[in-house]
Structure 1
Amino acid sequence: MALPEREERSFWIDGDRLRTEPVPGADLVVDGGWLLPGLVDAHTHPGTESLEDPFGDETLRRHLTDHRDAGVLLVRTPGSAARIPAWVDEDPAMPRVRSAGRWLATPGRFFPGLGRDVSESGLVRAAVEEAQASSGWCKVIGDWKHNEPALPLEILTAVVQAVHAVGGRVAVHCQTSEGSRNAVVAGVDSLEHGMHLDPGLIDRMAAQGTAFVPTLSVFGAGAESKRAAEPSAARDWWLAGWEAMLPNVRAAHEAGVTVLAGTDSFPCGTVASEVEWLVRAGLPAEAALGAASWSARSWLGLPGLVDGGPADLVAYETDPTLDASALAHPSRVILRGRVIA
């Protein structure tokens, strides 16, 4: 059964392409079960695991392999400590990657030296450079500490206009109310986290096509420790934002915003947990699964299970819309026409 259509269909693989007509000499690799376009993690940072660990090829390969073995065959890296090296695209055993180049951070708005530190006056030029040097994306740190100002709206608007002018797209990290507002009003292409997003902006996001990547699983994992922490302004601010996130995600979906699954956490290959959180937020199971598969692939410019499309697919013995945890246990993984597992 092929998803999302829920139709019994047969596919053949010709090189790295899917075909709906028989290919002579083909071997049977999947018989029955449920077929999905390869899973997608729309917010992951492979290549380094902590502030102390340098970005490296060995770690990057391990992280991408973990994604692939879990059926995540397309990843989007909205910001990294270094640009994704060319060998990733050249290696047929690696998932497809859509990179936003290096994080772009203005003074005081990120971990010093982890991304590309730029002045506010130099941000527009740097954003265009990163977009053109990567997969067409750039990533801007739109805010940082809860009690400090976000990147000014006029600067972020100029970034969006300049990057769009060269055919690129802009992702923005934002967790404060001001940062989220500025990102939406500036017309960014994706809102990353959006912890204190004003629900009054959701209709505007839908109208202009701003996607929402809430990364619920990484926040959910830290919620209990935050509640147990000593009271402080930062703790109360964080908890207030977390309490609003699930209702905002549901409202965004209902308004027609493209909601995508991204983990922003380690280990890699755990996008199934983000799907479970999207369901918990109130998305229908099929929409939550699409956020980590066909909807995300379409948003990133790749088709699903169609004739001539990329032969990137995962198979399951049971319907993953009935049990999101099944996503962590594919029965078959096929990447670029090659059987991985």
Structure 2
Amino acid sequence: MITPAKPRILVTGATGKTGGAVVAELRRQGWPVRAVVRRRDERSALLNAMGAETVVADYFDTEQLRHAMEGTRRAYYLPIMDPFMIQGANAFALAAREAKLEQIVQMSQWLSSARHPSMLTRQLWLVDRLFADIPGVAHTILNPGMFADNFLRFIDFATLLLIYPHLTKDSRSAPVSNEDIARVAVAVLADPARHAGRSYRPTGPKLLSGKEMAQAISRAIGKPVLPIGIPLWMFFKTARMQGVDPYEISGFRYYLQDHWRGAFSAGGGVTDVVHELTGSPAEDFETTARRYAAKSFAQPTLANRLKAIWNFSRTPLHPGWNLDRFDRSRGFPVPFAPSLAVDDEGWQASHLPAAEQPSVMRLAAGAHMS
């Protein structure tokens, strides 16, 4: 019997952390992949080395996106972290209709809600609904909570200075690895009909506080690590020093407020999505930390140690951002009655599972519910 060929899958955001992981997992399982990139560089070369076909396209240009979709049947869509995200999503939705895609697996966000003070989060809520309404497309949402990557960007401070800066106070979340998100995405892409209209929340296997993450990192590197809670003003300085887009940080400050209020531990905070969809349990934080600690920038060399000491000591002297002023200067719209997700009844109704409803599966965005 002849086995039918696997359809080619389009991946946007392919040079990013989850997009790159999705490309790698698809190729590992033998799926043909077309990866959308913004430019040819060393990152696109790595995708080519995996066996993916790369195509350069403007994420705001419907015609370029439609051309990129030619010959593909399914897509993993990573929204652009940009003030004009909704324009890019509309361009993608129009292109998907013209190209007659059969499936879109869309990355969203656990906090996605209509009145959130973060403009990025409000736009993600709109994208959730925009894609759910594309005729004839099997649409699935992935809305993970906090990514393990968010908590391991300062792993060099742990390996080199034996300190772990964190922002979460005593609140908890269940950090999920990029690789587990990718495995879930590929499982959904492999079976469009089964997952159409669903929303999945992949998480790590355990709720952790900043102190507990420091303990996991200590076990991963075999040395005691001291957790240090840092104030937001220090984080703003660090982010600016690292060249992070202030638009992303403007939203992230509100995510932290939701975190402190328990939004990421609400409803139990842990799901079996990774195991249910992939057949393997979610990776624990210690294992993820061990992989990050093996990265070149975290190795205990003299140069790395001096760099870590320099970066840590100069942070208080580096200018930060006035994010309220930044938002006003860009003219971002403000909801009539802004509300953190944890205080929003609409968010609670659509995101927290009912007692009789498995947390593994929910109807995407509450759309098409009778």
Question: What TM-score do you get using the length of structure 2 for normalisation?
Answer: 0.32
Of structures 1 and 2, the one scoring higher in RCO (CA 8 A, sep 6+) is 1
